[in-house]
Copies of this chain bind each other. A is one copy, B any other.
Amino acid sequence: MASQVARKKIRPAVRTPTLGRGHARVAALKAAGAAVFAEKGYDAATMTEVAAKAGAAIGSLYQFFPTKELLAASLHEDLLAELSRMLEEVRRENAGRPLTALADRLFAGLADFLLRNPAFTALADRRDIDRKRKRATRAQLRGQIAALLAQATPPLAPGKAETVAIVILQLMKAVVSLNGEDASIRETVVPELKRMLQLYLESVGGE
């Protein structure tokens, strides 16, 4: 066969299946990937384990995701899109409400999303992704949240909205990271974080 050597690498891309059965496969592979990445983190995750968990042969996995990196990227994109949809929905349903109410809803939505998709955290925190991509991704997320916050009544100034978006995102990470703790700690601290945010927002919104 062709040299096993690293060949030209013509920028391989995720292959979209053309046949029906392929779609199910791809879905299973993605699910398995998400599970493994979530459990072990990107580095410690193994393509072999992903394939096994999906009940597929290793070659099948590679048919659709030509590299581990691409599998991760694809997963990340999917999750990002879902998150984006969720944010848009929150925006639609809560436009015009006061800032604190907005933040409450947003907080709940984010927490729900992150808890249901632990792979997102694992993939977003990777230290070895393209700086640009990382930056772009964050900018998009922040932008969307800022836009959401800007629709409060009274409205937040755009610059302020961006800052507040970042603050909220950071608090979200805190909430998520508390997930590894005892329930008693979680149940004590999470409400405090929320309360802290509310205090902060009141001070911000009243400006």
Contact = CB atoms under 8 A, between A and B. Distances in A.
A183 interface: no
Contacts of A189: 163, 166-167, 170
Interface stretch (A39-47, A75-83, A87-95): A39-47
A5 B69 contact: yes
A197 B67 CA distance: 43
In the complex, the count of this chain's copies comes to 4
Interface residues of A, number: 41
21 contacts: A1-B1, A1-B2, A1-B4, A2-B4, A2-B40, A2-B43, A2-B46, A5-B67, A5-B68, A41-B127, A44-B127, A134-B180, A163-B188, A163-B189, A164-B192, A167-B192, A170-B178, A170-B189, A192-B200, A196-B200, A199-B200
